[in-house]
Amino acid sequence: MSELRFDGQVAVVTGAGGGLGREHARLLAARGARVLVNDMGGGPDGSGKGSAKPAEAVVAEIEAEGGVAAPSAESVATPEGGRVIVEQALDLWGRVDVLVNNAGIAGGGLFHELPPEQVEAMLRVHVLGAYNVGRAAWAAMLDQGYGRVVNTSSNSVFGLPGTAHYITAKAAIIGFTRALSMERAGHDLKVNAVMPMAYTRLTAMLPSGRFKDWLQEHYGPERVAPFVAFLASKQAPCSGELFTVGGGRVARVFLGVAPGYTAADPSPEAYRDHWEEIMSPTGYAIPADSQEEIALYSGEIGWEGADSPDPNRAT
């Protein structure tokens, strides 16, 4: 079995001062990448002044393990921060092959009680953070004609009470991943996303009990990093995909669409009376893009061309 290696490559891992990011950074470095370990420090909810110490400690660990790394304590949450992070990697090593957008904060509260500042902070770190660093790295990757981006979503998108702002942010990461995967401009650029599950300081905040004990025993963050490294490698087989990853298990998560029901004469009653058809997942499809989704039903609704309508390519 040939080993997946990153020799000669440069990786930027955000939020790599602890938890999952630390494992991503250590594994990429152990496989030959030079790694920019970015982490602004701070509490699990983003509180505190920030500190360079977590990033520096991980760099020291990587160096002790024989790897090459440099620390960055910039925040991903501003366009300037994103630019500086990527520029540091470019200044040091001349390229950026891999970006793992992993930085994140946690925090809960009922939707109607969440202060707007907390909602904004959550969106700034997760959504704009991925966007800011992604934007700068993507430009370098386009120049090189090569790049891999791994974004971090969350299985809370399936539904979890009491964290509306977090889930909103993590759902946006899915849209961002799909959007970016459409912009590779003919180059070998691939972008995917993971929904990790791991015992870290974030999940350590869960109430004590059997679930938390089980997580601690079976869901070490080092059991997520290998799949992230695979997606970050030259051999990444896909782009625009989403995976749930934890405890050694990986599975595809997808946006599918069912055949549904088409009313010849739409009325509220028509939909009430065909509710089972509307809701049935039987015969679902997984469209590669929005045109494919339209193509699935265009024939039923009066499209007479030989091909399906193609709003983007027609212009």
**Which positions are annotated as active-site residues?**
166
71 binds ligand NAI, rule: CB under 6 A: no
Largest CA-CA distance found in the chain, in angstroms, rounded? 70
Binding segment (CB under 6 A) for ligand NAI, from list 3-11, 18-26, 29-37, 258-266: 18-26
105 binds ligand NAI, rule: CB under 6 A: yes
Nearest to 149 by CA among 244, 59, 24: 24
Report the DSSP pairing between strands 249-253 and 242-246: antiparallel
Beta carbon of residue 209, minimum distance to ligand NAI (angstroms, whole number)? 16
Binding segment (CB under 6 A) for ligand NAI, from list 36-44, 143-151, 268-276, 301-309: 36-44
220 binds ligand NAI, rule: CB under 6 A: no
Q: Using H for helix, E for strand and C for coil, what is the string for the chain?
A: CCCCCCCCCEEEEECCCCHHHHHHHHHHHHCCCEEEEECCCCCCCCCCCCCCHHHHHHHHHHHHCCCEEEEECCCCCCHHHHHHHHHHHHHHHCCCCEEEECCCCCCCECHHHCCHHHHHHHHHHHHHHHHHHHHHHHHHHHHHCEEEEEEECCHHHHCCCCEHHHHHHHHHHHHHHHHHHCCCCCCEEEEEEEEECCCCCCHHHCCCCHHHHHHHHHCCHHHCHHHHHHHHCCCCCCCCCEEEEECCEEEEECCCECCCCCCCCCCHHHHHHCHHHHHCCCCCECCCCHHHHHHHHHHHHCCCCCCCCCCCCCC
* Out of 118, 151, 152, 244, the residue judged to bind ligand NAI by CB under 6 A: 152
* Out of 9, 10, 13, 17, the residue judged to bind ligand NAI by CB under 6 A: 17
| Total residues binding ligand NAI (CB under 6 A) | 33
181 binds ligand NAI, rule: CB under 6 A: no
**Residue numbers 290-309 binding ligand NAI by CB under 6 A:** none
Beta carbon of residue 157, minimum distance to ligand NAI (angstroms, whole number)? 9
Contacts with ligand NAI, 75-104, as mask; x by CB under 6 A: xxx------------------------xxx
Beta carbon of residue 44, minimum distance to ligand NAI (angstroms, whole number)? 5
Binding segment (CB under 6 A) for ligand NAI, from list 4-12, 32-40, 272-280, 305-313: 32-40
Nearer to ligand NAI, 3 or 117 (CB): 117
Nearer to ligand NAI, 47 or 262 (CB): 47
41 binds ligand NAI, rule: CB under 6 A: yes
- Environment class of residue 30 by beta-carbon count within 10 Å: exposed (0-12), middle (13-18) or buried (19+)? middle
* Out of 6, 31, 39, 89, the residue judged to bind ligand NAI by CB under 6 A: 39
201 binds ligand NAI, rule: CB under 6 A: yes
132 binds ligand NAI, rule: CB under 6 A: no
125 binds ligand NAI, rule: CB under 6 A: yes
Q: Is-contact 242 193, C-beta < 8 A?
A: yes
Name the residues that contact ligand NAI, by CB under 6 A.
14-15, 17-21, 38-42, 44, 46, 54, 75-77, 102-105, 125, 129, 152, 154, 196-198, 200-203
